[in-house]
């Protein structure tokens, strides 16, 4: 059963020094609720896109899920003022869509959340400042769209309460996928077919005989 809370305050969580680096300044996702409506905004509007950094690839224990990936945890859920909820309810985040190769893990336990590795697409936010880990093993741009809502302890939205959505964007190095040839397509870097090699060989022989 999911734990419930009655009031959220502006509080902060602290990460262990043993875990990977956040990747840059915090980019808080401000959550407020007024008149049964959820509101979401970026504390820093210029930080809607963050850069995933190469991990050290030597993390031990639970943090090893981030090995060999690009990593970032700048985005952090944060209560904007005080939030009062009905009893037996909580604030939840639901994944509406995301890049195929984007993974999300909890801040302290590194558990897969929000649909990663078959986890529930709905995750309960505990009310404290929380910077989950985002990672990918594929270079290029990545994104995720989330809905935040108030629900019962099973994660079902409460009737009469409005929700809000927010889009997060990530960059992980340069995307070189367009320069790589794929089967069935001839492109730079694609190995020539055997017939093409044969024609090339005949042309080379003929050129030598003319010398």
Percent of the chain with pLDDT over 90: 66
Q: Does residue 79 form part of some domain?
A: yes
pLDDT greater than 50 at residue 155: yes
Q: Does residue 204 form part of some domain?
A: no
Write the burial class of residue 17 (CB in 10 Å: 0-12 exposed, 13-18 middle, 19+ buried): exposed
Q: Which domain holds residue 147?
A: 7-179
Element holding 208 (H helix, E strand): helix 194-210
Q: Does residue 192 form part of some domain?
A: no
Question: pLDDT tier at 176 (50, 70, 90 boundaries)?
Answer: low
Q: Give the number of C-alpha atoms closer than 13 A to the C-alpha of residue 107, restricted to the C-beta side.
A: 21
- pLDDT, residue 58, reads 79
Total domains present in the chain:
1
Q: Does residue 168 form part of some domain?
A: yes
Residues 66, 43, 150: CA angle, nearest 5 degrees: 80
Each residue of 28-67: pLDDT tens digit?
999 999 999 999 999 999 999 999 998 767 788 999 999 9
- pLDDT, residue 189, reads 32
Q: Does residue 187 form part of some domain?
A: no
Q: Does residue 34 form part of some domain?
A: yes
- pLDDT, residue 20, reads 82
Q: Does residue 121 form part of some domain?
A: yes
Each residue of 187-205: pLDDT tens digit?
333 233 333 333 333 334 3
Q: Cα torsion for 33, 37, 40, 43, to the nearest 10°?
A: -40
Q: Does residue 199 form part of some domain?
A: no
- pLDDT, residue 198, reads 39
Lowest mean pLDDT among 31-40, 80-89, 107-116, 171-180: 171-180
Mapped onto helix, strand or coil, the DSSP state of residue 167 is strand
- pLDDT, residue 190, reads 29
Predicted TM-score (pTM) of the model is 0.75
Mean pLDDT of the chain: 81
């Amino acid at each position: 059963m999911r734990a419930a809370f009655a009031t959220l305050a502006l509080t902060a969580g602290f990460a262990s020094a043993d875990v990977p680096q956040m990747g840059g300044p915090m980019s808080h996702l401000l959550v407020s609720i007024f008149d049964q409506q959820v509101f979401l905004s970026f504390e820093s509007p210029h930080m809607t896109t963050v850069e995933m950094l190469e991990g050290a690839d030597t993390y031990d224990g639970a943090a090893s899920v981030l090995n060999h990936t690009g990593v970032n945890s700048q985005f952090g859920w944060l209560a904007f003022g005080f939030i009062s909820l009905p009893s037996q309810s909580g604030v939840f985040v639901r994944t509406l869509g995301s890049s195929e190769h984007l993974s999300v893990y909890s801040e302290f336990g590194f558990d897969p959340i929000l649909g990663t590795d078959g986890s529930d697409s709905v995750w309960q936010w505990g009310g404290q400042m929380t910077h989950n880990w985002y990672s990918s093993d594929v270079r290029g741009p990545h994104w995720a769209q989330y809905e935040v809502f108030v629900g019962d302890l099973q994660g079902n939205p409460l009737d009469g309460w409005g929700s809000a959505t927010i889009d997060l964007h990530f960059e992980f190095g340069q995307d070189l996928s367009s320069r790589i040839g794929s089967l069935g397509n001839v492109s730079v870097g694609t190995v020539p077919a055997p017939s093409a090699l044969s024609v090339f060989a005949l042309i080379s022989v003929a050129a030598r005989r003319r010398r």
